[in-house]
Structure 1
């Protein structure tokens, strides 16, 4: 499966367009839910690298299963720089890749990529193993890189591998990430060098770190977590005790908290506090509401308590934050 075929399917999806440059192709997401971009650099025949920037809860994936000639997907390596991305395993269970973790899989993408925290930045390597093997014999001869071997090492029997990046692989991935800001004519050459180094390191690991993909959640558990998130954020003025939410879904309070933490990577209280503070910051910058009014809108009846939490979150008082934002505009 070639990356160009995938991109052609992507641009047929509403809200996704393409911008072509000399060294890259950029898929651009622009919908009412959010925005994002995936910038692809073709490094070798059969191997592309994408830089991903998402500010959206979802990104619709192309339906690759409609092609009956495709028996499995390409080898994908994802590295999360920041945020959280949902993945579905072959057994229909859900796992999550988060900051400083990498994943390798040949599973097809689900109907959409899901970003529970609405923010995601990362790298994705797209390897069409058959094409790479056929058209890059010099790479195999000079660097002994065998993607079939790498797939068998990390994804035996079609499994998905997720683990915190080792120190050596993380150093290479960080250098690759920094190249995005360099002129493409220079950066592409460096991307090729670091990419070969990365897969050489992965192939020659003496001990592969244990996959964390064993920590999974069922579809019903994920749905409960997402419904809880919708309930607690739909009106930030309201307070919903965990025991009350657990009772509503007929599960234990411990289970409810575990499902939520599994999907969103934070305790309910921490997640909700961040949502409240971010909304308060938005209101301070864009309205003339008083601090007391904003505090009430995000669920704080005590203005002093609100100001204390706000300063701890942003490092400045609400009035200082408003003043700074107005000076910057």
Structure 2
């Protein structure tokens, strides 16, 4: 069996994806798999044909690598792949669609408003019921790309301009002060969680990928019953979107122990500073055994 580790891509998260992909590639090699590394560009289909892979291990972050595009192409080519399918990938990548699915399933989310670029540029734009502070984020990016916390009209204007660099929709979300907890899901079980304590204002792109800028608390320092609720909601969010394989669910716990689900990452980072490998260690997985399990889940789906 020839495994193709597909990483890179052309999204804003390309560099992180390449690091994740290299780590997965090295692990599969050490496990004895016949493995090839494929840097995904617009010629991805041709590269896959040339390498004659039997299964794809997807380590793409953002863009068409995570929104169902590559998944759809692989299905047309008849090649099994790790992680979620076309629909779940597309839903999880779209923050507005994700929140609507969560609300349907009674999964708590912070109050939010979707702003279209065309509305923002017109006189029809208003904040309505949302008040400062707010979190402004693009509807389609990951790794906290284009995300800002704003506390004034001026900051809002700048943050929306930044968010609209990545698409024509932005999400305005009520800023909730509290602990940021990430729950790892593998197959149909919650592995546990990690509490992140960034030294910056929030868990930004810089805080995520710069050593020393974030403290990681494993397991989270929260009440045991709240932790169980987080794990239950994390798994429920994973299932509500129809996800498969390994995901990471981003959540918040406020001072009154109210829990909110932010989003589901269908292709979590697999670098040395990534959260999923840290979380998986709580359930006895080292990096190589986690990679092997993710691959085996993909092959099991094909049986």
TM-score, with structure 2 as normaliser: 0.24
- Structure with the larger RCO, 1 or 2 (CA within 8 Å, 6+ apart): 2
More helix by share: 1
TM-score, with structure 1 as normaliser: 0.22
Q: Which has the larger radius of gyration?
A: 1
